[in-house]
Structure 1
């Protein structure tokens, strides 16, 4: 115990409980040991939880969760995705469309994010972008040749969703926000980090988010437009009336207002 310099935990009950948790056991041995909840873990939980409070964003997360179960729970489908992606990389390399070199074009896999693995959601969505063409191809195969009726219905719903503007919009928005907070999360985990520098980094991250909110619309919509063009997804006319998915009630707002706000 004399060699213990510091301790911090996640928010699991077996860690933080006052009577039987790990912090209670350590306090019993050393009364000056303070319980500190890991800042980086708090940051991820807050970002994910707040994002899921928005209905359309929560729907996006639900669809990704279904995708991870359909593809990730089958070794055969994971292998099919990897092989198809590898073939695409080789083809683009031969055509000179992508660069080659040390550390480039490494094999990637589509993995389920973990609640206690920092930045894992961000990594999952980056992999989704890289593997999307291969994932769609495998889903189309399952839709036609799959033996499980439930899986085929799930796949049919996923394929429809992945060809919508909403999917592209929320994918790019989440990537943008998680990219910024992931940088902060990574820095917060450095062993040589001090509290004053950490607070300064939190402040600068907030300023980046404010800047995106005020001035980030054009760059975001340009990325979305390019993505839609690459995957032949219909790009909404921003001046058209927003479809509230309720034909009996007019929304009286434009697509531009809805998505920008």
Structure 2
């Protein structure tokens, strides 16, 4: 089970069904370019307005630069802006996928909470989203993906990982995600639904999610116009 499948199913199970029927499931180049911003924060802070405006950011250059300046006040700024471990494959008991960054020490030699003299915190998986952030917190698909990453890293490390980070680099926004009962419950529900997926899920009706879906033409989702809704 992949992290991406879980996130997609959280957004729309039917979209996952059609995604799995495709041979090429690589993210589009524009999404990759937006994700790559998360690995270039120091460079981006030094760009002038014209050069910054040419990047795939979703804020005016002055606002974006100010957002990065706020990020620089975080205690983990150095690790976020110049991560040691990037594109790390996490292979858990239930799901596997790539964490764009992992902050902190991992492996058998990393400090543990049960050591006599612990000297470090547990590692933190980082998921990078090419989209826009909500006003607060993170969108549910990214929340499920973050929980999957936490569980997978916990399985590999043999210790509890209760924190993850989700970055929205086109806005210069970083959100912390803690493992909670509600988030774990949502993750388990989605995991179960993906495991049981053996045919196209029920169709949505007039959902806003359908408007920009690349499967709209062959999905069979029935949407109705305003004219039909009012009987004209």
More helix by share: 1
Say yes or no: TM over 0.5: no
TM-score (norm 2): 0.32
Which of 1 and 2 has greater Rg? Answer: 1
The structure whose RCO (Cα within 8 Å, separation 6+) is larger is 2
